[in-house]
Amino acid sequence: MSEKHSADVLPGEAPADWWSAKRKAAIRIFRNEGVSGIWRKIGAGGPLEALSRVGDEIRCMQCALICSIWDKRHHTQTSGLIGMEQVSVVGSNKEHGTAIVSISPRMFKFLTRFFPVDRSNATLVDFGSGKGRLALLASTVGFRKVIGVEYSPFAHNIAQENLKNFRAGGDGMSECVFINADAVDFQLPTQGPLMLVFNNPFGLEVWRRVLPNIVSHRKETGENIRLLLSGSMPEVLAPVVQFVRESGHFTEAAQGVSPLFIDSYSRYYYWVFDAA
Ligand SMILES: C[S@@+](CC[C@H](N)C(=O)[O-])C[C@H]1O[C@@H](n2cnc3c(N)ncnc32)[C@H](O)[C@@H]1O
């Protein structure tokens, strides 16, 4: 961890990546207790549950490997999963945030089908941009501008570094900026249509404050606004989707479940809404 990240994490240790921590714990148990130790850990629910847990582990390792290859290719550090309890944030919504984890490149590609066809005048805002992978990928698909809003200074600083180092390849990048702020305080840009992406950043409490800002923006500017809500946990998304629907300010444009991609640890559930 670099010096400048050290003040952004809670006292104690550098934030531990959840997957590496799990892998290290398994190696420790195997060294100390051998196969019986591993079996005690995963076999308590019977062989079928053990098999499914091993399958999950293999999938996580596979995703971590593919995403770290993506990082190497693009000169970035976007992989891993860090729990919110390990980092400090700006604002008072820490308890409502999910975790710092990036979208898989193939999942991103799948979701681009919900982006407007003409993006040349549109801005994409990634609410909860983490280490920046989604915003960086979005900056390669023709938006006028991409903005990532992230409340963890730790993740935000990494995203800034990634922006400096990112090698987009192909046709280059749109303008991309990262802002260290709580989503509730972010002011939407007034020029042109908006594609607002919420890749499972936070729960209903924060949505209750973010959605009115979006609705006011629509009333004031009359610009087209599209919302994309996605994530692997339908139980977290369901109340949010209901909240957006019940606001009466949006019409549902699409809804579904993604395929399971080789670089993603889970399918994604998604909903697309257009401002009415
Ligand atoms: C699941 S990650 C998504 C990262 C990124 N959008 C991607 O897909 O690659 C969710 C991110 O939202 C951030 N977050 C949660 N609540 C937030 C809030 N109120 N304001 C800004 N960021 C928030 C978390 O710190 C985390 O980095």
Residue nearest to atom 9 of ligand 1 (CA): 102
Q: 161 and 77 in contact (C-beta within 8 Å)?
A: yes
Lining residues, ligand 1, CB within 6 Å: 93, 97-103, 126, 128-130, 133-134, 149-152, 155, 182-183, 199-202, 206
DSSP SS3 for 193: coil
Does pLDDT of 204 surpass 80? yes
The stretch 56-76 carries a mean pLDDT of: 91
Q: How far apart are CA 71 and CA 118, in angstroms?
A: 29
pLDDT at 7: 59
Residue nearest to atom 13 of ligand 1 (CA): 128
Query: Mean pLDDT in the chain?
Result: 91
Of the residues 112, 152, 188, which should be mutated to test ligand 1's pocket, given the most ligand atoms within 8 Å of the CB? Answer: 152
- Amino acid identity of 62? Q
Give the DSSP H or E segment for 115. Answer: none
Q: Using one digit for the tens of pLDDT, what is the confidence trace for 153-187?
A: 999 999 999 999 997 766 679 999 999 999 999 99
pLDDT at 3: 42
Q: Using one digit for the tens of pLDDT, what is the confidence trace for 237-255?
A: 999 999 999 999 999 999 9
| pLDDT-derived band at 141, boundaries 50, 70, 90 | very high
Query: For the chain, what's the residue count?
Result: 276
- Amino acid identity of 170? G
Q: Tell me how far the alpha carbon of residue 152 lies from the centroid of ligand 1, in angstroms.
A: 8
The stretch 6-21 carries a mean pLDDT of: 68
Q: Using one digit for the tens of pLDDT, what is the confidence trace for 109-136?
A: 999 999 999 999 999 999 999 999 999 9
Phi, psi of 198 (to 5 degrees): -125, 95
What counts of helices (H) and strands (E) characterise the chain?
7, 9
Residues 6+ apart with CB under 8 A from 275: 214, 215, 218, 224, 225, 226, 249, 250
Longest CA–CA separation in the chain, Å: 65
DSSP annotation of 198 reads E
Question: What are the chain's domains?
Answer: 1-276 (3.40.50.150)
Q: Using one digit for the tens of pLDDT, what is the confidence trace for 14-34?
A: 677 777 777 777 788 878 888
pLDDT at 101: 95
Q: Tell me how far the alpha carbon of residue 7 lies from the centroid of ligand 1, in angstroms.
A: 19
| pLDDT-derived band at 75, boundaries 50, 70, 90 | very high
Q: 146 and 174 in contact (C-beta within 8 Å)?
A: yes
Above pLDDT 70, what percent of the chain?
95
Residue nearest to atom 26 of ligand 1 (CA): 100
